[in-house]
Chain A
């Protein structure tokens, strides 16, 4: 770890040390020195800042090495680049950055040669990296086939390359918390400082009272980005007003929703922004100790955080008497052991206290009595990452960003059956359709989008015809979904909505902490009902009746879960079921009444038949059938008993003559059997 260069004294007049911190340290970086007058020092500081802002000297290669980049081979790309540079005796720095947001086009490799501009190339993999290096570094052919965009102003010959913010994926986005992600070196405090980090924190600890900070955040209208959307400033105010010997601040980085990875990207791409947000929050409530509760499945995020914390400690941004304000704050990373429920705030408390991560009843709310019975504020990563911007740029700026009732931006993890997937940060209040079709690029070729699932296991599915809904807390709720933490999964006609509901119900069933009866038992039963729907009715009359009655039970169980569960996990557990039943009732009807899955997803409802004219009676299918559904003698045509068939398809795979077919969609058992008898 290199000590921060930007806060090094310019000459002997600068007396900042960790032990005797200077109040104006942060401002001094860009505008200093203030305590003495020296043109040399000013020049030194400016040059230093410019160099660090550029990323260093000479040729720079920025490699998108967030988790999505690594998954696409960023590690071996880095190795290839090094080999290439050595082989060709080229001097260049490789800087590993986080994810720029366009995960689908990873790996991104940016080049900054000489005066620039910084050019971004995408879709790089270990196979084509040499080609790219050859084009850029040897042939100097900047406009090669990998070129995506340029990041900053360019000289004439390159000015026809579009700026990244003008590309279709980024045009409608408003980067606020993701501003630096994929741009700056996340392992360097200097890079963050050069990008403006800790200016807000410095302002807060020097010029503002805790109450003023709370009021500012309240005034900004910032809501918790973790899901529930409670006003952050209001929560802080409660903790500030509660007298206690000790208070705690916890950053909730236990991101667990299927299809959500916003927090990971922030932590991997710009950890200092989160730390700065925590520093401000801690000051606002008077907390001396903070925890980052991060799931252990995010090793890179934890590594980045650890580096960031160590650098901040060394620079005096964490620890005693921060920036000579007499305010002290220390941070500990606590790794979650992989329980989804530990994203619930009271379960986090139990987990940090060393207990089993089980939610506890509220009230008392953590803001009054939380960790070890002391006032505790829990904020989501994205919430905290929003805070510095609000302080530096002001509440009216923040309010103006959004077009909806709520303020600011929201990051969504766009995934599923859509052209462009990745992280998108949009102003709150943008119509959903714009995200899916303009940013996401719409459906995959020859498919059409059916719905989008928002809010993970607590959220719901919004059908295509409701895509004009504004992405904001209330409108989404009215459609049976929720803002949630930001997972946004697009589904086309190849997704079965009953299957989707079943997936989320299974997730909750497995992740329920098991404490309260309605959630533990209710989700199990709801899951069983959904499983029955996705399979053909088997067994006796009673079991068949059970399958049919299940649909009525679903609604009742959903209500019981919502009304009586202890924590949000259970209270919202039924949302995926309720919203799919609301908007896709016909699919449920097809499953129950026709034993047919319109999307052709539910294997258990598939029906196979043997073309008796072509069957040679080799008996292989009969032997493979796990449910004894095939009858027929040797060298005689075989026949599948529809009632016994579980639709596994093993026979069709095994058939030597390829004469076993799945019954075509839209035809029910009767028709098939009828067709056979003709």
Chain B
């Protein structure tokens, strides 16, 4: 293709100004410093196919070779994910030569890919299939051997099918660079290359923490969650079982944003309406046990601070993080709060509650709806919960019954005694939320006065992966840290080891952005979506009537009737747990 001389001149002329421009397909596009051609093009609305680069990646393996582009004055095709935009650069992203190369690569990927798209759980979200369609591949030209590796079903959370893996390496990048876990990596050579845990072990005995960030970005069906939809449906259709659900704090925000529902609490009621319609007996709010967690955790924290316990205390709400400690940093077990996660507290309380109720001899089947895959492991590990549905599985469940969330659907109130949640419980779904809720209650417990102002702890909010701050609570200076995205925990632990940070309380959420960016969330979750969901939960908090966990009437009632007080004997039995050192392999 001939370069367009006029465009080149124009772009040179434009360079005299401050704007830095590159020309993509004869269209001038301004680029930001440090941007790759791929990023610039995507921003300008020019879609360059890519299967290995992904938003938020810290390094680009340039492995899929699909994002190749032509750059003027260079005879070679270059990968736009690694090509830095330079002023005056003239790039072509789509032409016959590039099309042919891309088509061939996708055809090659398809040649060794199983032909079971109709049965694949990622069918609708498969980026490989979308790309094949986009490139007009309607015929199998290359044939030959296919991969026949065993499917790894060992993990309670994640199913790994190496045969569907196209070795793009996204999971490896996210596991190593973003989550800092490094449970999987490339093994083997040539056509026998695979992505595996160390020594080809099953995921259950690997270093994997089941956070599910890998399966969220996997372009194919190679990584999926262990699906519990059928189990739940079976339970629903069994007359001898009553099925109850609990809904995690991050879920309503996700639904609200996905289905344009009216409000956060409203979307929860709409969901409860649908669930009851399809056969659930009761729907509880996990945000309620979030409030309860605050009560227990803050009491524990104050006890540790005043009585010289192990500090800093780490939160234990995030099961991926808990598993990380148990597997990789067992020396930190004394630092973990002994509180169960809200899911497990709710699980235990639901069981306890139904003990005192006549169910007509029917067994209680407890389902939790979570934005998380690690919760599946936690439920299996600690019991009390029978099935954990990710946000994606919730969608599948609703589809199976032919119902859809709409703003005008039937609403049902959530079921007492675990129906009420305060603004503090609602923000548990985002990074810094546990911290913020805890500080509000801690202030009250320490000083007997409410935290003034708009109750906002802005230092805890925001998407920075590591936030460290201190607060002066009537003369007592408390130091806090908030981590989201487990990769940063290493930074924090190194800082703690070297700089004597004297932290009191650390909130750790395994997934970037917290639970709203969890591994069980819809596949298309990107940073902007996470931001939107965070805004929604903070809005809900702002508008909530009660915004303090210790003001939750149902929590108070629970303490009056059952638990007595935080850290009581009963609450230890129901709401606290112990930890164990786990070993890989």
Q: Would you call B186 and A515 a contact (CB within 8 A)?
A: yes
Q: Would you call A339 and B169 a contact (CB within 8 A)?
A: no
Q: Would you call B105 and A564 a contact (CB within 8 A)?
A: yes
Contact residues, A166-213 vs B (CB, 8 A): none
Assembled-state Cα–Cα distance A523/B79 (Å): 20
Query: Chain B residues with Cβ under 8 A from A165's Cβ?
Result: none
In the complex, what's the smallest C-beta–C-beta distance from A621 to chain B, in angstroms? 31
Assembled-state Cα–Cα distance A546/B185 (Å): 35
Q: Would you call A553 and B190 a contact (CB within 8 A)?
A: no
Q: Would you call A524 and B191 a contact (CB within 8 A)?
A: yes
In the complex, what's the smallest C-beta–C-beta distance from A370 to chain B, in angstroms? 15
Query: Chain B residues with Cβ under 8 A from A363's Cβ?
Result: 82
Q: Would you call A361 and B79 a contact (CB within 8 A)?
A: yes
Query: Chain B residues with Cβ under 8 A from A564's Cβ?
Result: 65, 68, 77, 101, 104-105
Instruction: Decide: A518 near B190, CB < 8 A? Known: A361-B62, A560-B101, A563-B77.
Output: no
Q: Would you call A528 and B145 a contact (CB within 8 A)?
A: yes
Determine if A566 is an interface residue (Cβ-Cβ < 8 Å): yes
Query: Chain A residues with Cβ under 8 A from B166's Cβ?
Result: 517
Query: Chain B residues with Cβ under 8 A from A525's Cβ?
Result: 108, 111, 142, 144
Assembled-state Cα–Cα distance A560/B66 (Å): 11
Instruction: Please choose the segment from A309-317, A453-461, A505-513, A591-599 that sits at the chain B interface, where 4 or more of its residues have CB less than 8 A away.
Output: A505-513
Determine if B435 is an interface residue (Cβ-Cβ < 8 Å): no
Q: Would you call B143 and A521 a contact (CB within 8 A)?
A: no
Assembled-state Cα–Cα distance A399/B97 (Å): 41
Complex A-B, nearest 10 residue pairs according to Cβ-Cβ distance, in ascending order: A514-B193, A521-B108, A560-B104, A361-B62, A528-B144, A564-B65, A524-B191, A361-B82, A512-B190, A510-B190
Assembled-state Cα–Cα distance A560/B82 (Å): 19
Q: Would you call A566 and B62 a contact (CB within 8 A)?
A: yes
Residues of chain B whose beta carbon lies under 8 Å from any beta carbon of chain A: 60-66, 68, 76-77, 79, 82, 97, 100-101, 104-105, 108-109, 111-112, 141-145, 166-167, 169, 185-186, 188-193
Query: Chain A residues with Cβ under 8 A from B145's Cβ?
Result: 524, 528
In the complex, what's the smallest C-beta–C-beta distance from A437 to chain B, in angstroms? 37
Chain B residue with Cβ nearest A571: B76
- Interface CB pairs A-B, < 8 A, 25: A339-B189, A361-B62, A361-B79, A363-B82, A510-B191, A512-B190, A513-B189, A513-B193, A514-B189, A515-B169, A515-B193, A517-B108, A518-B105, A518-B108, A521-B111, A521-B191, A522-B108, A525-B144, A560-B100, A563-B97, A563-B101, A564-B68, A564-B77, A566-B62, A566-B63
Q: Would you call A516 and B62 a contact (CB within 8 A)?
A: yes
In the complex, what's the smallest C-beta–C-beta distance from B389 to chain A, in angstroms? 34
In the complex, what's the smallest C-beta–C-beta distance from B86 to chain A, in angstroms? 11
In the complex, what's the smallest C-beta–C-beta distance from A504 to chain B, in angstroms? 13
Q: Would you call B191 and A520 a contact (CB within 8 A)?
A: yes
**Other contacts beyond A361-B60, A512-B193, A566-B65: 5, CB < 8 A:** A517-B109, A560-B104, A563-B68, A564-B65, A564-B101
Q: Would you call B79 and A514 a contact (CB within 8 A)?
A: no
Instruction: Decide: A515 near B61, CB < 8 A? Known: A524-B144, A563-B77.
Output: yes
Instruction: Decide: A517 near B189, CB < 8 A? Known: A528-B144, A564-B68.
Output: no
Determine if A557 is an interface residue (Cβ-Cβ < 8 Å): yes
Q: Would you call B105 and A515 a contact (CB within 8 A)?
A: no
Give which listed residue, A361, A509, A557, contacts B190 with CB less than 8 A: A509
Q: Would you call A517 and B142 a contact (CB within 8 A)?
A: no
Query: Chain B residues with Cβ under 8 A from A563's Cβ?
Result: 68, 76-77, 97, 101
Secondary structure at the B interface, as helix, strand, loop or mixed, is loop
Determine if A383 is an interface residue (Cβ-Cβ < 8 Å): no
Q: Would you call B185 and A517 a contact (CB within 8 A)?
A: no
Chain B residue with Cβ nearest A356: B186
In the complex, what's the smallest C-beta–C-beta distance from A401 to chain B, in angstroms? 32
Q: Would you call A524 and B190 a contact (CB within 8 A)?
A: yes
In the complex, what's the smallest C-beta–C-beta distance from B315 to chain A, in angstroms? 33
Instruction: Decide: A512 near B108, CB < 8 A? Known: A361-B82, A553-B142, A564-B68.
Output: no
Query: Chain A residues with Cβ under 8 A from B108's Cβ?
Result: 517-518, 521-522, 525, 557, 560
Instruction: Decide: A516 near B64, CB < 8 A? Known: A521-B109, A524-B144, A563-B77.
Output: yes
Q: How many interface residues does chain A have, given as a range? A: 20 to 34
Determine if A239 is an interface residue (Cβ-Cβ < 8 Å): no
In the complex, what's the smallest C-beta–C-beta distance from A50 to chain B, in angstroms? 53
Query: Chain B residues with Cβ under 8 A from A515's Cβ?
Result: 61, 63, 167, 169, 186, 193
Query: Chain B residues with Cβ under 8 A from A523's Cβ?
Result: 190-191
Instruction: Decide: A356 near B185, CB < 8 A? Known: A518-B105, A566-B63.
Output: yes
Determine if A358 is an interface residue (Cβ-Cβ < 8 Å): yes
Determine if A556 is an interface residue (Cβ-Cβ < 8 Å): yes
Assembled-state Cα–Cα distance A337/B160 (Å): 29
Give which listed residue, B64, B77, B190, contacts A517 with CB less than 8 A: B64
Instruction: Decide: A517 near B167, CB < 8 A? Known: A509-B190, A525-B142.
Output: yes
Assembled-state Cα–Cα distance A449/B145 (Å): 36
Contact residues, A465-495 vs B (CB, 8 A): none
* Among A514, A553, A566: residue with most chain B CB under 10 A: A514
Q: Would you call A514 and B65 a contact (CB within 8 A)?
A: no
In the complex, what's the smallest C-beta–C-beta distance from A11 to chain B, in angstroms? 56
Give 1 or 0 for each of A519-534: 1 = CB within 8 Å of chain B CB.
0111111001000000
Query: Chain A residues with Cβ under 8 A from B60's Cβ?
Result: 361
Contact residues, A107-154 vs B (CB, 8 A): none
Assembled-state Cα–Cα distance A585/B502 (Å): 76
Instruction: Decide: A511 near B62, CB < 8 A? Known: A361-B79, A517-B108, A556-B104.
Output: no
Give which listed residue, A512, A528, A557, contacts B104 with CB less than 8 A: A557
In the complex, what's the smallest C-beta–C-beta distance from A577 to chain B, in angstroms? 15
Query: Chain A residues with Cβ under 8 A from B65's Cβ?
Result: 516-518, 564-566
Q: Would you call B188 and A560 a contact (CB within 8 A)?
A: no
Assembled-state Cα–Cα distance A513/B62 (Å): 13
* Among B64, B77, B100, B144: residue with most chain A CB under 10 A: B144
In the complex, what's the smallest C-beta–C-beta distance from A405 to chain B, in angstroms? 21
Query: Chain A residues with Cβ under 8 A from B192's Cβ?
Result: 514
Instruction: Decide: A517 near B105, CB < 8 A? Known: A361-B79, A524-B191.
Output: yes
In the complex, what's the smallest C-beta–C-beta distance from A116 to chain B, in angstroms? 52
Query: Chain A residues with Cβ under 8 A from B101's Cβ?
Result: 560, 563-564
Assembled-state Cα–Cα distance A565/B66 (Å): 10
Chain B residue with Cβ nearest A339: B189
In the complex, what's the smallest C-beta–C-beta distance from A94 to chain B, in angstroms? 42
* Among A517, A549, A553, A565: residue with most chain B CB under 10 A: A517
Chain B residue with Cβ nearest A565: B65
Chain B residue with Cβ nearest A525: B142
Query: Chain B residues with Cβ under 8 A from A511's Cβ?
Result: 189-190
Q: Would you call A514 and B105 a contact (CB within 8 A)?
A: no
In the complex, what's the smallest C-beta–C-beta distance from A527 to chain B, in angstroms? 9
Chain B residue with Cβ nearest A552: B141
* Among A358, A361, A509, A564: residue with most chain B CB under 10 A: A564
In the complex, what's the smallest C-beta–C-beta distance from B104 to chain A, in angstroms? 4
Contact residues, A420-461 vs B (CB, 8 A): none
* Among A360, A522, A557, A563: residue with most chain B CB under 10 A: A563
Query: Chain A residues with Cβ under 8 A from B64's Cβ?
Result: 516-517
In the complex, what's the smallest C-beta–C-beta distance from A363 to chain B, in angstroms? 8
* Among A339, A341, A361, A511: residue with most chain B CB under 10 A: A361
Give which listed residue, A361, A509, A560, contacts B191 with CB less than 8 A: A509
Assembled-state Cα–Cα distance A512/B64 (Å): 14
Give 1 or 0 for each of A338-350: 1 = CB within 8 Å of chain B CB.
0101000000000
Give which listed residue, B79, B109, B189, contacts A512 with CB less than 8 A: B189
